[in-house]
Amino acid sequence: MSGYVQGASAAEYVPEKVKKAEKKLEDNPYDLDAWSILIREAQNQPIDKARKTYERLVAQFPSSGRFWKLYIEAEVNIFIFFSY
């Protein structure tokens, strides 16, 4: 399994819903319900931790402008935050 769960350290808490979503993606990498769970979780994480999820998302759906927009906004928000 790759991504969010695999990269988690032993001390890092991974919500059960994220584990279930990752399992669903193993069976069907195009499961939008599972991706929605991972996206919501990524949006609540620092970009350092969320980046891998966003990169997996746009790799799976490279022509989805909506998913690219989410990723870009997450990256840009960190620069806006530190510029003030």
Structural domain of 60: 37-84
Domain-embedded: residue 13: no
Domain-embedded: residue 55: yes
> Confidence class of residue 83 from pLDDT cuts 50, 70 and 90?
low
Per residue in 8-33, pLDDT (tens digit) is: 555 688 999 999 999 999 999 999 99
Per residue in 32-82, pLDDT (tens digit) is: 999 999 999 999 999 999 999 999 999 999 999 999 999 999 999 876 666
Domain-embedded: residue 54: yes
- CA 69 remoteness from chain centre: 13
Domain-embedded: residue 4: no
pLDDT at 13: 87
C-alpha dist (Å) from residue 7 to 4, 21, 23, 38, 54: 6, 15, 15, 14, 14
Q: Is the pTM of this model over 0.95?
A: no
Provide the number of structural domains found in the chain. 1
